[in-house]
Amino acid sequence: MEWLVPFTLTVITASTPLLLAASGELITEKSGVLNLGVEGMMLVGAIAGFAVTASSGSAILGIAAAVIAGVLMSLIFAFLTLTLMANQVATGLALTIFGIGFSALVGSKFVGFAIEPLPGLSIPGISAIPIIGPILFGQDFLVYLSIAVVIGVGWFLAKSRAGLVLKAVGDSHHSAHAIGYSVIKIRYLATMFGGAMAGLGGAYLSLSYTPMWAENMTAGRGWIALALVVFATWRPGRLLAGAYMFGLISVMQLHAQGAGIHVPSQFMSMLPYLATIIVLVIISSDRAKIRLNAPACIGQAFRPAH
């Protein structure tokens, strides 16, 4: 039992940035937009959050800056793809490359700095309960926010009128336009939400998971978040399970190395990404399920008829 609590806490912290970024990308893709720039948006959010927190001493300002940075990055993508009608795949890849370079440039002044991590929730008498207390009632607020976002996204898509409109735009943008909905505006808003969540996921990495800045610190988590959306077949409930499953795999490879298991460290480090590929192959083999749940117009440009 001595290892159970720290192991579980590590899984939760490893899963949180994936859950935040994937939740935003789920909404983006449900509107019919495929943004492959999640990795770049997470990196820019990470450096924005860390730089503002380190400079001002306020984590709240840092988190706000990360969200704004993610939204601004998403607006670059939205303008190019939705207004200028550039190719979404190529633009998303370019956004990631830009984010990697830009975050490294801005973050060069902050390498080696360390800050206090986000404080965990502390409820007298409850947080001290063995095992359950530190796991359920000792996390920082971004962990609880990530779960609340998934629940909110599920409710939004299933129960709200705006969610139904969003899905209608993603499934048939011409039909949605014909009955009076602004496809471009809805997709702009969905893309901005995706950027905000990616920035928040990046902020969690630099402010809580490893409270420091390191170049390319997302280490491919943006790509895993993209894969999670497909793994979940665009369903929020499965997204929650998938994020924690991938977090578990990531932590297991670290613990295996620490336990002295005689497997090359390079193989253990690639284990989360290998699992991502395997899961995507398995999910993609069921084409009927993919067609049933994937937005029909995902990645397709929309030009309003005049």
Q: What is the pLDDT along the chain (306 residues), one digit of tens a residue?
A: 667 788 888 889 999 999 999 999 999 999 999 999 999 999 999 999 999 999 999 999 999 999 999 999 999 999 999 999 999 999 999 999 999 999 999 999 998 888 999 988 777 767 667 777 777 887 889 999 999 999 999 999 999 999 999 999 999 999 999 999 999 999 999 999 999 999 999 999 999 998 999 999 998 899 999 989 988 889 998 899 889 988 888 787 777 766 666 777 677 677 777 877 887 787 777 776 666 778 999 999 888 765
For residue 173, the model assigns a pLDDT of 94
**Cα–Cα distance, 304 to 120 (Å, whole number):** 48
Q: Which residues contact 213 (CB under 8 A, 6 or more apart)?
A: 46, 47, 50, 51, 107, 110, 111, 113, 206
The identity of residue 66, as a single letter, is A
Other beta carbons within 10 Å of 251: 20
For residue 275, the model assigns a pLDDT of 77
**Cα–Cα distance, 290 to 241 (Å, whole number):** 18
Q: Which two tokens stand for residue 23?
A: 């939740």
Report whether 61 contacts 53 (CB < 8 A): yes
Report phi then psi at 111, rounded to 5: -65, 130
Cα–Cα nearest to 204, from 24, 72, 18: 18
pTM (2 decimals)? 0.91
Cα–Cα nearest to 223, from 55, 17, 2: 17
User: What domains can you pick out in the chain, each with its CATH number?
Assistant: 4-293 (1.10.3470)
How far from 222 is each of 55, 180, 203, CA to CA, in Å? 26, 34, 13
Cα–Cα nearest to 194, from 159, 171, 225, 165: 225
Q: Which two tokens stand for residue 225?
A: 């978040």
Other beta carbons within 10 Å of 119: 10
For residue 123, the model assigns a pLDDT of 74
Place of tokens 């990046």: 202
